[in-house]
Amino acid sequence: MIRLQPIARDCRLFIPQAAVLYHALPVSYPITARVFSTSSSPLRKDGAPSTYDLEASRRNLSNASSVAKESKNAQNETSLNNGGKGVYSPTPIKDAREYFERAGIPGMDLQWSPRGIRGKDYRGKSTETSAATLRTFCHCELCRNKANGQRTFPESAIDPNIRIASVEALPGGLRINFASEERRLDKEGTHTSYWPWRRLLAAVKHHVFRGNPPSEARIRLRTKVSYWDAAMLEKKIASIDYSRFKEYDGKWDAIMQLCHLGIVIVKNVPLKEESVSAVAERIGPVRETFYGRTFNVKAKPNPDNVAYTAESLGLHQDLLYLHSPPKIQILHCMENTCEGGLSLFSDGERAATALLANLGVDHPLMKALMERKVPYQYYTSGRNYYQARRVIECSAGQLKRVYWSPPFVGDSTRCDMDFTAEWIRAARVFQDMIDAEDAVFKLRLEPGDCVLFDNMRVMHGRTAFDSGTGSRWLRGAYISHEDFVSVASAIPMAILRKFSDQYSTDAAIGKGNALPKSFIEDLHKAVQRHGFGAVNN
């Protein structure tokens, strides 16, 4: 089983509140593809009948009607229509706690009434869930399409005044019989749902009906993140042969490396124009842009982008003027016989994290990097793209995102004038850290090499090349943030486990706070050099 060690403070990205809840569950709880598992089909497991017992449903309906009538007498109509608010007189559900405990879950005492289910945990804290809610999130095979897991009815088809007619505790979960006077959805006016204990607990206690949405923060809790400088990456960067990349393991290794180091190389990729999209499609759909579905990086006359010259290109991220800049960039080397033209990479999150950890959010330098919105724009050949982004985006003191693309900074739509000088000095510090000799990993791409990197974390650039001495031709493609997150959320346990063992013994780069002393010293020197005075940490 994979060990989920607490992650170092400064290499943890922002984690939404709900993540905490999910991760409190045992890790063996299946993280992907858990929603539409057949175990939530009605009464399939635990020896319960596998088809609907319509007779029983009808009996339940008449029970429900009488229960409902009683409850109408006891309470006023409004509280019923309110869908769960107000008082009701609940009936304890026999054996519920025992079955919870048998399933290995610290459960609750449960009570039911026509309007919903109430739980009381061991601290005596009460929570409840309404009948309409439980009916809405039913997972039975009548309510969900078996092939695609999609809901077979709109939520609005459910009777807002639906009642629980009866409940029955079974070893595997709770069977709930619903009754309704509307027959919009359930033609008999009745319906039976089956709630496995764990799912019922999440619903009643936390009002949660599925795990957390896919997110980069959750992926990183599983893959961990190692920040690197040139020497570290030299040791650590993985080269995967294209033949292996086409296999199951090779693909997932590459995805794992992209999450952990933010960069990976695939070797011996066939020198065909279509190879770069083939590499992308192993991971996710291609993110097409106005540069094309794929693009060629070579010097050309009248370039519409500075990348298409032979000039050196400072370290930057691509396409920050897009609303959602591409996550993964893929560069496939087709030809490279020029002098020069080395590919450069630098770990932007390492720099941002180090600044954040060593200066804190209140330092004037950090204020400049975290407050000034840098305008990125592209307004050539009838295209109009614009986004303003802070260099460092934080949430609750944790790094959320870093944006750095000096060659594409345009004109501001509104700009705090008095701030420019301060901003330039802060930008110089950041630039010095990104550009430092130690920080920049240099790579000479050979034909057949394909480098994949995380454009949201790793800045890239190149040295100038002499197009008189030969040719240099790279082919590029992108994968969007959400398409990568979609795939990386499904990294198989076996792959995670393999890397987890490897990474946990690797103290040197395993933690973001284990940045080398010399790097921190350089940081402090850069801060002073650009006039921000001594650092009070």
- Find the binding residues for a copy of itself in span 62-81 (CB under 8 A): 81
Question: Contact 64/221 with Cβ under 8 angstroms?
Answer: no
Q: Which of 481, 509, 510, 532 binds a copy of itself (CB under 8 A)?
A: 481
- Compute how many other C-beta atoms are within 10 angstroms of the C-beta atom of residue 501: 11
- The closest alpha carbon to 248, from 67, 495, 496, belongs to 495
- Find the binding residues for a copy of itself in span 122-141 (CB under 8 A): 128-130, 132-133, 136-137
- The Cα 79–Cα 34 span in angstroms is 35
**Cβ 385 to a copy of itself shortest distance, Å:** 6
The answer to the question of residue 310 lying near a copy of itself (CB under 8 A) is no
DSSP 419: G
The answer to the question of residue 33 lying near a copy of itself (CB under 8 A) is yes
The answer to the question of residue 314 lying near a copy of itself (CB under 8 A) is yes
Q: Which amino acid is at 480?
A: S
**Cβ 60 to a copy of itself shortest distance, Å:** 20
The answer to the question of residue 508 lying near a copy of itself (CB under 8 A) is no
**Alpha helices, DSSP H, located in 302-452:** 348-359, 364-371, 420-435
For a copy of itself, the closer of residues 5 and 145 by Cβ is 145
Query: Taking CB under 8 A as the rule, which mask of x and - marks residues 158-177 in contact with a copy of itself?
Result: xxxx----------------
The answer to the question of residue 221 lying near a copy of itself (CB under 8 A) is no
- The Cα 298–Cα 215 span in angstroms is 35
Cβ within 8 Å of residue 477, ≥6 positions away? 276, 277, 279, 280, 286, 287, 293, 294, 295, 329, 330
For a copy of itself, the closer of residues 5 and 81 by Cβ is 81
Task: Give the full edge-to-edge strand order of the sheet including 163-170.
Answer: 163-170, 173-179, 190-196
- Find the binding residues for a copy of itself in span 353-392 (CB under 8 A): 374-375, 377, 379-380, 382-388
Tokens of 354: 């180090």
The answer to the question of residue 462 lying near a copy of itself (CB under 8 A) is no
Cβ within 8 Å of residue 139, ≥6 positions away? 35, 36, 40, 41, 193
Tokens of 143: 């309510």
**Cβ 378 to a copy of itself shortest distance, Å:** 9
For a copy of itself, the closer of residues 128 and 253 by Cβ is 128
Q: Which amino acid is at 34?
A: R
- The Cα 195–Cα 176 span in angstroms is 8
Q: Which of 39, 268, 296, 305 binds a copy of itself (CB under 8 A)?
A: 305
Q: Which of 85, 246, 282, 367 binds a copy of itself (CB under 8 A)?
A: 85
Tokens of 432: 């010095």
Q: Give the count of alpha carbons within 13 A of 521, CB side only.
A: 4
The answer to the question of residue 288 lying near a copy of itself (CB under 8 A) is yes
- Compute how many other C-beta atoms are within 10 angstroms of the C-beta atom of residue 200: 27
Q: Which of 51, 323, 507, 517 binds a copy of itself (CB under 8 A)?
A: 323
- Find the binding residues for a copy of itself in span 87-126 (CB under 8 A): 116
DSSP per-residue codes, 174-186: EEEEEE-S--SS-
The answer to the question of residue 149 lying near a copy of itself (CB under 8 A) is yes
Q: Which of 55, 362, 418, 437 binds a copy of itself (CB under 8 A)?
A: 418
Find the part of the chain contacting a copy of itself (CB under 8 A) among 102-110, 149-157, 166-174, 455-463: 149-157
Phi, psi of 360 (to 5 degrees): 80, 165
The answer to the question of residue 42 lying near a copy of itself (CB under 8 A) is no
Q: Which residues pair with 164 in a beta bridge?
A: 178
Q: Which of 20, 74, 490, 494 binds a copy of itself (CB under 8 A)?
A: 490
For a copy of itself, the closer of residues 387 and 500 by Cβ is 387
Radius of gyration of the chain (CA): 29
For a copy of itself, the closer of residues 69 and 383 by Cβ is 383
Find the part of the chain contacting a copy of itself (CB under 8 A) among 99-107, 241-249, 480-488, 497-505: 480-488
For a copy of itself, the closer of residues 144 and 224 by Cβ is 144
For a copy of itself, the closer of residues 133 and 358 by Cβ is 133
